[in-house]
């Protein structure tokens, strides 16, 4: 009966990415989803907690005004009721853990990044199996809860300006972060002076255009780095003159260099 009910739950999840709660006898159900590059589960919410994780590839999860890029070393805890969307930037296998709140000791109320160590990976794979005895499942679930270790992670989410001229510049930079034109040059494109655009970016995004563009470049770099693209190549693609300049900007924004951020062990 337990296996049958969990199979139904996972089947319902796999159809749309939305979860229809069919409680298992344990506390956790694991759903596995093959996601080609660019696949997306659009905005939705669950009545249960979720841990979104890619056993292969890279996930992006948007929630609460932020976006997280998740290589296999990191997962995102999404509390029940939080509206979110999930996508893949490369061919990925998403393994989502769903936690029934009344049986879950974790009480995080906001999206929280957690480290995925080797033992947690193995436990997720074990719980995804079809014939897990009830007693060993209980032990495995207890270990999972004990291994949910939060990471302090800075999200990079440059806000969009509202003024149509500044917004046109922002959209162009988002489409090509390596574009190095300054505000005077952009002003000739959108019909505003460089000084006006500078004022609009500060007033509407809370940061100078240079800082805002730096945030865009770093956000564009994250999926590439997560896929294992070389730092020098990433730096060039997003508009940095040298790899060292890119690494310095990344460290300043995130607190660690790219290699440490995407380390398989998930250290921060």
Please check whether residues 35 and 106 belong to one and the same domain: yes
How far is 119 from 109, CA to CA, in rounded Å?
Answer: 25
How far is 31 from 126, CA to CA, in rounded Å?
Answer: 12
pLDDT the model gives residue 21? 45
Please check whether residues 124 and 218 belong to one and the same domain: no
Domain enclosing residue 252, as ranges = 164-261
Please check whether residues 256 and 207 belong to one and the same domain: yes
Per the CB < 8 A criterion, the answer to whether 111 and 77 are in contact is yes
Per the structure, how many domains does the chain have?
Answer: 2
Q: How many residues does the chain have?
A: 268
pLDDT tens sequence across 74-107: 899 999 999 999 998 888 999 999 998 888 899 8
Please check whether residues 171 and 222 belong to one and the same domain: yes
User: What strands lie across the sheet with 92-99, from one edge to the other?
Assistant: 28-35, 92-99, 49-56, 74-78, 112-115
pLDDT tens sequence across 218-244: 989 988 887 789 999 999 999 999 999
CATH value at residue 228: 1.10.10.60
Please check whether residues 91 and 178 belong to one and the same domain: no
27 domain-assigned = yes
Tokens of 103: 């049986």
Q: From the centroid of its chain, how far is CA 59?
A: 6
157 domain-assigned = no
Please check whether residues 124 and 224 belong to one and the same domain: no
pLDDT the model gives residue 263? 66
Question: Of 100, 121, 147, which one is at a domain's C-terminal end?
Answer: 147
153 domain-assigned = no
Per the CB < 8 A criterion, the answer to whether 96 and 18 are in contact is no
Please check whether residues 47 and 143 belong to one and the same domain: yes
Q: Across-strand partners of 46? A: none
266 domain-assigned = no
Q: How confident is the model at residue 136 (pLDDT cuts 50, 70, 90)?
A: confident
Tokens of 122: 């193995």
Question: Of 91, 122, 147, which one is at a domain's C-terminal end?
Answer: 147
In this structure, which long-range contacts are made by residues 23-27, counting pairs with CB atoms below 8 Å and at least 24 apart in sequence?
A: 23/100, 24/100, 25/1, 25/134, 26/2, 26/103, 26/134, 26/137, 26/138, 26/141, 27/99, 27/100, 27/103, 27/104, 27/141
H or E element: which one contains 76? strand 74-78
Please check whether residues 107 and 214 belong to one and the same domain: no
250 domain-assigned = yes
57 domain-assigned = yes
pLDDT the model gives residue 264? 53
User: What strands lie across the sheet with 40-44, from one edge to the other?
Assistant: 40-44, 84-88, 59-63, 66-70
Please check whether residues 19 and 138 belong to one and the same domain: yes
**Does the structure show a pLDDT above 70 at 2?**
no
CATH value at residue 85: 2.60.120.10
173 domain-assigned = yes
Residues 6+ apart with CB under 8 A from 81: 45, 46, 47
170 domain-assigned = yes
Q: Average pLDDT for residues 203-221, to the nearest whole number? A: 93
φ/ψ of residue 82, rounded to 5: -85, 125
pLDDT tens sequence across 7-66: 334 444 444 444 444 445 578 889 999 999 889 899 999 999 999 999 988 888 999 888
Q: Pick the most confident of 19-23, 108-112, 129-133.
A: 108-112
Q: From the centroid of its chain, how far is CA 133?
A: 33
Please check whether residues 142 and 198 belong to one and the same domain: no
Question: Of 147, 173, 205, which one is at a domain's C-terminal end?
Answer: 147
Residues 6+ apart with CB under 8 A from 265: 73, 115, 117, 118
């Amino acid at each position: 009966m337990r296996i049958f009910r969990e199979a139904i739950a996972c089947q319902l999840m796999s159809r749309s990415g939305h979860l229809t709660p069919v409680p298992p006898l344990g506390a956790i159900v694991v759903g596995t989803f093959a996601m080609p590059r660019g696949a997306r589960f659009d905005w939705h919410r669950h009545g249960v907690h979720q841990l979104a994780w890619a056993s292969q590839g890279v996930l992006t999860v948007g929630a609460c005004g932020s976006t997280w890029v998740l290589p296999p070393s990191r997962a995102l805890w999404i509390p029940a009721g939080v509206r979110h969307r999930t996508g893949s930037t490369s061919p990925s296998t998403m393994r989502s853990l769903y936690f029934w709140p009344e049986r879950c000791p974790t009480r995080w109320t906001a999206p929280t990044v957690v480290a995925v160590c080797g033992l947690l990976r193995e436990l997720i794979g074990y719980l995804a199996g079809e014939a897990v005895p009830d007693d060993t499942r209980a032990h495995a679930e207890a270990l999972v809860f004990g291994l949910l270790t939060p990471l302090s992670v800075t999200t990079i989410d440059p806000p969009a300006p509202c003024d149509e001229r500044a917004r046109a510049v922002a959209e162009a930079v988002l489409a090509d972060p390596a574009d190095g034109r300054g505000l005077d040059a952009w002003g000739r494109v959108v019909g505003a002076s460089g000084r006006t655009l500078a004022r609009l970016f500060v007033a509407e995004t809370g940061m100078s255009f240079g800082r805002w563009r730096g945030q865009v470049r770093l956000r564009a770099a994250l999926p590439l780095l997560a896929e294992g693209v070389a730092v020098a190549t990433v730096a060039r693609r997003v508009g940095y003159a040298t790899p060292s300049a890119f690494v310095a900007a990344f460290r300043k924004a995130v607190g660690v260099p790219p290699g440490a951020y995407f380390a398989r062990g998930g250290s921060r």
